[in-house]
Structure 1
Amino acid sequence: MEFSKIEALLEKYFEGETSIAEENELKDYFSSPNVAEHLEQYRPLFGYFAEAKEQKLTNNVTLISKKRKVAWLSLAASIVMMIGIGTYTYFNVNTVKENQELGTYDDPEEALEATQKALAMLSDNVNVGIEGVQYLQVYEITKNKAFVE
């Protein structure tokens, strides 16, 4: 076989332009004993394909069906959801009981004192807000004087 033809085929092979017949020709050439010295470096490349054909798969792979995975996943999700609902219910029951006890007085005088304290606190906070509004009114008057005149 001509070396120039093999070199041209190798060039086409590395460019990705060979046909199946040309690739088979290269495999046959590199599996033969008379390979040119300067082309010896390509022998393992084409020899690999022959070795790969002879290898047999000996390991048995067990496949797990998707139905089993979905079943286990749904079971785990339902358990997590039940634990979440139980935890929420456990902690929420105590909160509801505490909220029902707020603001109830048996003694009318005690209720009057609590109401007066709440109204005094509200009055203090409203007065602070009114002071802030007064500053805004002074600002508006000054701004109007500066820009109108």
Structure 2
Amino acid sequence: MVLANIEELLEKYENGETTLTEEQQLKDYFSQETVEPHLEMYKPMFNYFLVNKQEQFTKDVPLKTKRTFNYKWISVAAVAVLMLGFYINSGDVDPSLADCNELGTYCKPEEALNEVSKQLAMISGHFNKGTQAVGYLSEVDKGTAALGYLNEIENSTSIIFKK
């Protein structure tokens, strides 16, 4: 009668219709030393469940996930901004001035002259600041001239003492 009950429970187990108490009865039966020979193939499975129930997970589980920043999207956004800039910039060009703007030059000579004079004035201003910063070098030149006189005195004394 016990064997018929176990076979019936196994059939229900295979169909997924057993309750927890019925599964526990199966586990208890297959944990015994003696099992019917035709049911011997189920014994390793139920023994595995018993051993697996005793295993414990000992590693720490991180509760906070690491956030990684995907740099690929920055490059996609940069390309999109560049393409949009080229598209908007290409619509603003006057067709009569297209050749001048493509080359980066000025079409009107007056504009070019004004721009060159502005740039030269800026460069001149920077050079004037630079010469003011090194104005003390004239004092250094005076000091080296005085040292030159000392060299002449030394030469004359060496001539006197050698003779």
1:115 match: none
The higher relative CO (CA closer than 8 Å, separation ≥ 6) is in: 1
2:47 match: 47
1:131 match: none
Q: Distance in 2 between matches of 1:14 and 1:6?
A: 12
Q: Distance in 2 between matches of 1:33 and 1:52?
A: 19
1:15 match: 15
Q: Does 1:93 align with 2:89?
A: yes
Q: What residue identity is the alignment partner of 1:96? A: D
Unaligned runs of 5+ in 2: 99-163
Q: Distance in 1 between matches of 2:15 and 2:87?
A: 70
Q: Secondary structure at the match of 1:47?
A: helix
Q: How many residues align?
A: 98
TM-score under structure 1 length normalisation: 0.50
CA distances 1:49-73 after superposition (whole Å, capped 9, x unpaired)? 112112222444545538x35xx35
1:1-149 equivalent positions in 2, closer than 5 A: 2-62=2-62, 65=65, 68=67, 72=69, 77=73, 80-90=76-86, 92-94=88-90, 96-97=92-93, 100-102=94-96
C-alpha RMSD over aligned residues: 3.3
- Higher CA-based Rg: 2
Q: Which of the two has greater helix per residue?
A: 1
Q: Which moved more, 1:7-16 or 1:81-90?
A: 81-90
Q: Distance in 2 between matches of 1:63 and 1:90?
A: 46
TM-score under structure 2 length normalisation: 0.47
Q: Distance in 2 between matches of 1:47 and 1:102?
A: 90
Q: Distance in 2 between matches of 1:4 and 1:101?
A: 97
